[in-house]
Structure 1
């Protein structure tokens, strides 16, 4: 007797604290961002001064304050789009369910593929995703900076020392709440060292209050793209990040029919663009629980 064919009863639930959950998603006025975007990046260092009439009891007046000088760097930065695709084959008999199946397939792979592309800079085996995390070369498009290099702040350190160094450099560079990007293999180590907690809004944060992006698609590779040694991983820090994504697009039946096999190649796809502010920093950490 043939077994009954049923619809899968389980509901797919993406893991929390991924990239799209953590970044800012501003609205758009149209689809033109899918050609890429450019913005003016301003990263201030700031300075201090004092009133030239100031007097200090017992020491007299201080010298005349130095002239004020520019302390905000400004440059044009840009980001390029990429597309996540899910494809399957079916017979024309199953056409009625094809779009829902394609949507379900995209739902299952979308977050992982988005995170992998943003970490590695690779889409369809080509280095075309800018900016991305694992980068050791600056990329320019004329005067527009598409990619900065990831500056390692520490290598081979325990996670507490490495995270502290990374967050200090982030504070020096960005001054506000940034993002700490970690592969999911690092989360148990962060938890063991009590370096990750949920804030009142349910977001995963460090003791300093930076948001943790735990990417299932983050491979943990270094700025040069090399895989980390066993028992270690790379983590990255950026300023606040933003992203755009399109609606889901499906192939048309007339474009997907393979007449030779009488099958349909159904696709669901969505285009993304991710950018971030000011900083790109890296740290190489040792995984494992505290020994003391």
Structure 2
């Protein structure tokens, strides 16, 4: 006698849990005005560089003259880019509301990873700022370990810029950063920071290559310190699934898409190789030059 096993009762999909840490936490988030979706943005970096000089006020000749810096900084420019998630399924037993919800959740799960990937290399998109093509200055730590690497990068960065920045680094380095006590977070929420206040953007979507796409030494990943990073985005847009329905094949074709734009407030960027090993021991790889 055949045994018929009933199908399980469908229940609402369980909640996925908290969003992982990454650039959406470390960056300043803001809505993207529709006026800039087509044209992108540009702005003048008014507070970049360390352009304050000492002056001798004595009256004895030769009289000192104040030097006026006529070197104008270049405008910061950034173009927008589109990210989308798609969902395709048959119509039997599935409503338009089902596919709307499912494509939205698929988008929510992957948006941060996609932004991090684009931010690292530019993904071949025109006019999109990328860490590996930002003209970063590479620095060499004075000692071994993630602490020395971050300290060297912060020193070099603050020789260029007067405000706290953001360290962008692949999550592969987080254990070494934690062991070196380079990660603090007060109150259990918010942004991880170094002891000197640099925000940490630990991106699973980031790569490990350095300036101009140079590969790191074995046992290391490249990290970049930029000025404050901004990420603008439009609201998530979904075409009506009823209008995009493939009626010949009886298939729902759903989309969720957003326009993003990101940049950092100045062009001053430094790069450093950070070891992955934690703790740093004598058998860890040598610090690369």
Aligned positions, number: 268
Two-structure CA RMSD over aligned residues (Å):
2.4
TM-score, structure 2 length as denominator?
0.84
Q: Give the C-alpha shift of residue 283 in structure 1.
A: 0.9
Q: Which of 40, 49, 57 is the aligned partner of 2:55?
A: 49
Give the equivalent residue in structure 1 for 2:287: none
Cα distance in structure 2, aligned partners of 1:26 and 1:65 = 46
| Match status 1:258 vs 2:256 | no
CA spacing shift, 1:188–1:81, aligned 2, 3 Å = same
Give the C-alpha shift of residue 62 in structure 1.
7.8
The residue correspondences of 1:1-292 to structure 2 (distance < 5 A) are: 1-4=5-8, 5-16=10-21, 18-26=22-30, 30-35=33-38, 36-42=40-46, 43-44=48-49, 45-53=51-59, 63-70=62-69, 73-93=72-92, 94=94, 95-122=96-123, 126-128=124-126, 130-135=128-133, 148-154=134-140, 158-199=145-186, 202-253=190-241, 255-278=243-266, 279-288=268-277, 289-291=279-281
Unpaired runs of 5+ residues, structure 2, are 283-289
3-state SS of the aligned residue for 2:154? helix
TM-score (norm 1): 0.83
3-state SS of 1:189 partner: helix
**Structure ranking higher in strand proportion:** 1
Map Cα deviations across residues 59-100 of structure 1 (whole Å, 9 max, x no partner): xx5852233221764221200111221111022341231111
**CA–CA distance in 1 between the matches of 2:162 and 2:198?**
11
- Partner secondary structure for residue 159 of structure 2: helix
Structure 1: gaps spanning 5 or more residues:
54-60, 136-147
